[in-house]
A and B are shown apart, each in its own frame.
Chain A
Amino acid sequence: MRTLIVILAVLLLALASLALAPDTLPAPYAAQARALLPSAIAGLALLLFIALVAERPKIPAPAQAAPEPAQLPAIKPAEAKADAEVVNLLSIFQEKGRLVDFLMDDIAGYSDAQVGAAGRVLHEGCKAALLEHFGIAPIRSEGEGSKITVPPQHAADDYRLVGKISGEPPFTGTLIHHGWRAEWVKLPRLVTTHADRLPAIAPAEVEVR
Chain B
Amino acid sequence: MTPRFSLGIDLGTSNSAIALSRIESESTQIVEITQALGPNRVGEKPTLPSALYLPHPDEFPEGAFPLPWRAAWRGDPIMGHFARDHGALAPDRLITSAKSWLSNPHVDPKQRVLPWKSEIKEEKRSAFDCSRMCLEHVKESFLHAMRAGGEDLDLADAQIVLTVPASFDEVARSLTAEAAEAAGLGKVVLLEEPLAAFYAWTAQAGKDWRAQVRPGDIVLVCDIGGGTADFTLIAISEKEGVLDLDRISVGEHILLGGDNMDLALAYALRAGLEAEGKSISETQFLALIHAAGRAKEAMLEDESVSEFPIAVPSRGSSLFGGTVSTKLDRATLEQIALDGFFARTAIEDLPQQTRRAGLQEFGLPYASDPVISKHLARFLTRSLENVKSSAALSSLIGAEARSKPFLAPTAVLFNGGVFKAAPIRRRVLDLLSAWSDGAQVRELAGYQPDLAVAKGASIYGRNRVTGKGLRIKAGASRSYYIGLESSMPAVPGFKPPLKALCVVPQGMEEGSEVLIEGRDLALVTGQPAEFRFFSSEVRSGDAPGEIIPDAERELLEISLLEVDLAAVEDMPAGQPVPVQINAAVTELGTLELWMKHAKSDRRWKVEFQVRTE
Contact = CB atoms under 8 A, between A and B. Distances in A.
A117 B40 contact: no
Given A24-B302, A27-B327, A118-B313, A189 B41 contact: yes
B43 A114 contact: no
A107 B37 CA distance: 31
A189 B318 CA distance: 29
A188 B41 contact: yes
Interface string A90-123: 0100010010011011110110011111101110
B335 interface: no
Contacts of B63: 192
Contacts, number: 84
Interface string A15-52: 00000000110111000000000000000000000000
Contact of B304 (A26, A98, A117, A190): A26
Nearest to A115: B320
A102 B41 contact: no
B91 interface: no
Contacts of A106: 320
Contacts of A23: 298
Contacts of B66: 191-192
Interface of A: 23-24, 26-28, 88, 91, 95, 98, 101-102, 104-107, 109-110, 113-118, 120-122, 124, 186-193, 199, 205
B319 A98 contact: yes
6 contacts: A105-B317, A114-B320, A117-B311, A189-B41, A191-B40, A192-B66
Given A27-B309, A118-B313, A192-B66, A102 B43 contact: no
A193 B66 CA distance: 12
A26 B306 contact: yes
A122 B319 CA distance: 9
Nearest to A119: B311
Given A109-B320, A124-B311, A192-B66, 12 more contacts: A23-B298, A27-B327, A101-B318, A105-B321, A117-B325, A118-B319, A118-B323, A189-B41, A189-B43, A190-B40, A191-B40, A193-B40
B318 A105 contact: yes
A14 B111 CA distance: 48
Nearest to B310: A120
B319 A121 contact: yes
A124 B306 CA distance: 19
B41 A105 contact: no
B42 interface: yes
Contacts of A122: 319
A120 B320 CA distance: 11
For the complex of A and B, the 8 pairs showing the least CB-CB separation, nearest first, are A188-B43, A117-B325, A120-B311, A110-B320, A118-B319, A117-B323, A101-B319, A117-B311
Nearest to A117: B325
Contacts of B294: 124
Interface string B302-343: 101111111111010111110111010000000000000000
B290 to A, nearest CB: 10
A149 B317 CA distance: 48
B307 A102 contact: no
Nearest to A108: B320
Q: Which of A95, A124, A188 has most chain B Cβ within 10 Å?
A: A188
B38 interface: yes
A199 B321 contact: no
Nearest to B44: A186
A121 B43 contact: no
Q: Which of B302, B321, B324 has most chain A Cβ within 10 Å?
A: B321
Contacts of A91: 38
A102 B310 CA distance: 17
Contact of B315 (A115, A124, A205): A205
Q: Which of A98, A105, A117, A190 has most chain B Cβ within 10 Å?
A: A117
Contact of A105 (B42, B320, B325): B320
A41 to B, nearest CB: 13
A191 B73 CA distance: 12
Contacts of B311: 117-118, 120-121, 124
A98 B325 CA distance: 16
A98 to B, nearest CB: 5
B307 A187 contact: no
A88 B312 CA distance: 24
B319 A102 contact: yes
Contacts of B37: 188
A27 B330 CA distance: 12
A145 B37 CA distance: 42
Nearest to B320: A110
B313 A191 contact: no
A104 B306 contact: no
A190 B41 contact: yes
A134 to B, nearest CB: 14
Contact of B305 (A26, A88, A199): A26
A101 B321 contact: no
A114 B317 CA distance: 14
Nearest to A25: B305
A106 B319 CA distance: 10
A116 to B, nearest CB: 8
B40 A199 contact: yes
A188 B38 contact: yes
B96 to A, nearest CB: 21
B40 A114 contact: no
A205 B313 CA distance: 15
A88 B39 CA distance: 11
Contact of B321 (A26, A102, A114, A187): A114
A25 to B, nearest CB: 9
B373 to A, nearest CB: 30
Contacts of A105: 317-321
B320 A118 contact: yes
